[in-house]
């Protein structure tokens, strides 16, 4: 279980999260929804250790990891895929993937990534920055597959991508979950997020306004009231 308890956090004088508690059970999908600026990204940053909370606790499988640096939470099985394309644009696709070999066999690591996202197989020699947006996101997401995490934090990974690519990404996420990963999903496509989620949290101005199962929410109402346009995806 990834458990955030009574998290208060912010930047400088600004308080962004106020006493937020959230649980991600093993092998579950939790959708974290809320309007722009509600604090979703900040919550993921607190969970992975990129942002130290002012108060509250972060626990992974019972161990207190509050304020632990991201490389420490990563070693414990946390994988944070941040907003934007988390790739090294000047390195080749192969080099980007080989980074995750962690002293193991780079070729095997590359093969595994290609099995998850076959399109990367024909691009291995290309600079990552020259890939399409969708291919860069697949490259970034392959980290979640290669590092065998227990908890994957996903920040708007389908942002700006064509619907067909978003389909592929959601299939990948469903596969991760089948393998036993738990996912904490910040996603602009509310309908898609709710379709795969076991639990949903709605953040409003840094507070949890709703926590429960997706079926308890009226998606249309939710979209209209809190999230603006859902782009129909
Ligand atoms: P969005 O959907 O727009 O990404 P969000 O729900 O993810 O929104 P956050 O990115 O967590 O929200 O931002 C919450 C608030 O914190 C916003 O008002 C934002 O301007 C502010 N904020 C975010 N990062 C910083 C920072 N590094 N320094 C100062 N303020 C920040």
pLDDT for 142-192, tens place per residue?
Answer: 999 888 899 999 999 998 899 999 999 999 999 999 999 999 999 988 889
Instruction: Tell me the mean pLDDT in the region 197-224.
Output: 86
- If you take atom 20 of ligand 1, which residue's CA is the nearest one? 37
CB-based contacts of 134, cutoff 8 Å, min separation 6: 161, 162, 165, 168, 169
Q: Is the pLDDT of residue 100 over 50?
A: yes
* Ligand 1 pocket check for 178: Cβ under 6 Å: no
Q: Is 39 in the pocket of ligand 1 (CB under 6 A)?
A: yes
* Residue 228 confidence class, pLDDT cut points 50, 70, 90: low
Asked whether residue 104 carries a pLDDT value surpassing 80, the answer given is: no
pLDDT of residue 225: 61
Residue 232 has pLDDT above 60, yes or no: no
Best CA proximity match to 210, nearest among 225, 192, 191: 225
Give the mean model confidence (pLDDT) for residues 24-49.
95
How much of the chain exceeds pLDDT 90, in percent? Answer: 76
Average of per-residue pLDDT across 124-142: 94
Sheet strands (E) in 43-170: 55-60, 63-64, 78-81, 151-155
DSSP type of residue 127: B
pTM across the whole model: 0.92
For every residue of 193-229, DSSP letters joined together read HHHH-SEEEEEETTEEEEEE-GGGS-HHHHIIIII--
Residue 83 CA, chain-centre distance (Å), reads 8
End-to-end CA distance of the chain: 30
d(CA 113, ligand 1 centre) in Å: 32
CA 11 to centroid of ligand 1, rounded, Å:
9
Kindly state if the Cβ of 13 falls inside 6 Å of ligand 1: no
Q: Is the distance from the beta carbon of residue 158 to the nearest atom of ligand 1 less than 6 Å?
A: no
- Quote the CA–CA distance of 220 and 79 in Å, as a whole number: 31
Residue 233 has pLDDT above 50, yes or no: no
- Give me the pLDDT at residue 231, please: 43
Taking 80 as the threshold, does the pLDDT of residue 224 lie above it? no
Nearest CA to ligand 1 atom 1: 36
- CA pair distance 69, 37, nearest whole angstrom: 24
CA of 186 to the centre of ligand 1 (A): 13
Q: Under 8 Å CB-to-CB from 186, ≥6 apart: which residues?
A: 31, 32, 33, 40, 41, 44, 154, 155, 156
CA–centroid distance, 184 to ligand 1, in Å, is 18
Ligand 1 in reach of 38 Cβ (< 6 A): yes
- Ligand 1 nearest-atom number relative to CA 206: 14
Is the Cβ atom of 16 under 6 angstroms away from ligand 1?
yes
At 91 the pLDDT is 95
Average pLDDT over residues 80-103: 89
């Amino acid at each position: 279980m990834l458990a955030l308890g009574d998290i208060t956090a912010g930047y400088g004088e600004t308080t962004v999260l106020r006493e937020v508690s959230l649980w991600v059970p093993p092998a579950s999908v939790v959708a974290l929804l809320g309007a722009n600026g509600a604090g979703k990204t900040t919550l993921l940053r607190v969970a992975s250790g990129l942002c130290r909370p002012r108060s509250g606790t972060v626990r992974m499988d019972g161990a207190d990891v509050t304020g632990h640096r991201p490389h420490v939470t990563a070693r414990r099985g946390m994988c944070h895929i941040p907003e934007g394309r988390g790739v090294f644009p000047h390195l080749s696709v192969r080099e980007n993937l080989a980074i995750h070999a962690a002293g193991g066999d780079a070729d095997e690591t590359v093969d595994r990534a290609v099995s998850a996202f076959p399109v990367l197989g024909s691009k291995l020699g290309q600079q990552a920055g020259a890939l399409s947006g969708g291919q860069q996101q697949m490259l970034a997401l392959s980290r979640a597959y290669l590092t065998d995490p227990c908890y994957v934090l996903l920040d708007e990974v389908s942002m700006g991508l064509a619907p067909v690519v978003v389909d592929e990404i959601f299939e990948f996420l469903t596969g991760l979950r089948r393998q036993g990963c738990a996912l904490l999903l910040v996603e602009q496509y509310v309908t898609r997020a709710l379709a795969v989620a076991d639990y949903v949290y709605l953040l409003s101005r840094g507070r949890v306004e709703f926590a429960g199962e997706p079926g308890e929410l009226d998606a249309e109402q939710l979209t209209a009231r809190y999230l603006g346009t859902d782009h129909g995806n």
